[in-house]
Amino acid sequence: MRTTRLWVSDLSASAGAIVLNERNHHYLTRVLRAKQGAPLILFDGQGRVAEAEIQAITKQTTTVTVTTPHQSPDTRVPIVLCLSIIKPDRFDWALQKATELGASGIQPLTTCYTEGMPKGERLQKKFAHWQEILVNACEQSEHYWLPTLHPIMEFSTWLTAPRDRIVIAHPDCTVSSIPATSGLTHLLIGPEGGFTDLEVQQAIQAGAAGFSLGPRILRAETAAVVGMTLLARDLGFL
C-alpha cells in the first residue's frame, strides 16, 4: 500500500515529535480516516524528507513522531513554465500538470490578451491557491521539490531581465526540438488568442528561440503540457 506523503512547511533537522498543521490534520482524520501508528512520509518541498508515524490524534490535532530527515536529490526538470494568466480552472490545471512533470518554476505572466486579472486581496488569495495546487501535485506525484512560484509579472517587463534561455511556443515556427544546454530553459506560453505579433517580436529581440508544438492550434493549458513534455525530452529527462 502506498504510504501517504504530506508537505510540511518546516521539517526540523532532527528527529522528534511534531504537531501537524490544520490542513494535514484534516486530510488525515477526515479524508483518510487514519489511525494511530499509521506510517507517513513528510517533506518540506526543498528536498528534506523524513519518515513519520502517527503518535496521537485528537479532535483538533494530529501529533507524529519523525525520524531524522535526509536530503533528497533535486529531480526537477530545469524548465520554468512562463504561462500567461488564463481562465482560472485552466490555469490551475496547467500548474498541476507542470508540477507533475517536474517543472523547476512557474512564472505567471500578464500579456496583451490577459483577461480577468485578480487584484489586491483577491490576488493574494489566488497566489495562495496556486501554491496549494503545487503542494497537492507534489504529494500526488511523489516529488519532494516544489516548483518555485514566482510573482506575477508583465510580459515586456519580464523580458528585460537576463535569462539562461528563453523558448517561445508559436504556431508560425517550424523548429520542433531544442538542443540540450546547461541552466534553466524558460518556456513562454501565451493566453487564449496567443501572443501578439509585437510580443513575439519583443521576445525574439530578447533572445528567445521559436518552438513549434505541432501543426494544430492548442489551448493554452494543453500547449503548456505539450511544451513541457517536448522540452523535457530534448533536455534528456524523458
Residue 175 pLDDT exceeds 80 = no
Contact 192, 112 (CB under 8 A): no
Q: pLDDT of 201-236, one tens digit each?
A: 999 999 999 988 988 889 999 999 999 999 999 888
Separation between Cα atoms, residue 123 and residue 108, nearest integer Å: 12
Task: State the residue range of the domain holding 62.
Answer: 4-71
Clarify whether residues 58 and 30 are in a common domain: yes
Clarify whether residues 141 and 223 are in a common domain: yes
Residue 117 pLDDT exceeds 90 = no
Contact 152, 85 (CB under 8 A): yes
Distances in whole angstroms, Cα of residue 37 to Cα of each of 18, 48, 90, 95: 14, 22, 39, 34
Question: In sequence order, what are the residues at sequence separation of 6 or more whose Cβ sits closer than 8 angstroms to the Cβ of residue 161?
Answer: none
**pLDDT for the residue numbered 173:** 81
The pTM of the full predicted model, rounded to 2 decimals, is 0.91
More confident call, 175 vs 31: 31
Clarify whether residues 38 and 120 are in a common domain: no
CATH of the domain at 116: 3.40.1280.10
Query: Looking at 56, 71, 86, which one is the last position of a domain?
Result: 71
Lookup: cell for 215: 501543426
Contact 145, 45 (CB under 8 A): yes
Clarify whether residues 186 and 115 are in a common domain: yes
CATH of the domain at 57: 2.40.240.20
Average pLDDT, the chain: 91
Clarify whether residues 120 and 190 are in a common domain: yes
Question: What is the number of structural domains in the chain?
Answer: 2
Return the SS3 of 186.
strand
Q: pLDDT of 142-165, one tens digit each?
A: 999 999 999 999 999 999 999 999
Separation between Cα atoms, residue 96 and residue 137, nearest integer Å: 6
| Beta partners for residue 17, in sequence order | 65
What secondary structure does DSSP assign to 50-116, as a single string?
A: EEEEEEEE-SS-EEEEEPPPEEPP---EEEEEEEE---HHHHHHHHHHHHHTTEEEEEEEE-TT---
17-27 average pLDDT score: 93
Residue 189 pLDDT exceeds 70 = yes
Separation between Cα atoms, residue 155 and residue 105, nearest integer Å: 16
Clarify whether residues 113 and 163 are in a common domain: yes
Residue 12 pLDDT exceeds 80 = no
Clarify whether residues 124 and 168 are in a common domain: yes
State residue 25 phi and psi, 5-degree precision: -60, -45
| Beta partners for residue 106, in sequence order | 81, 149
Clarify whether residues 28 and 43 are in a common domain: yes
Separation between Cα atoms, residue 154 and residue 217, nearest integer Å: 24
Smallest CA-to-CA distance from 223 within 203, 180, 193 is with 193
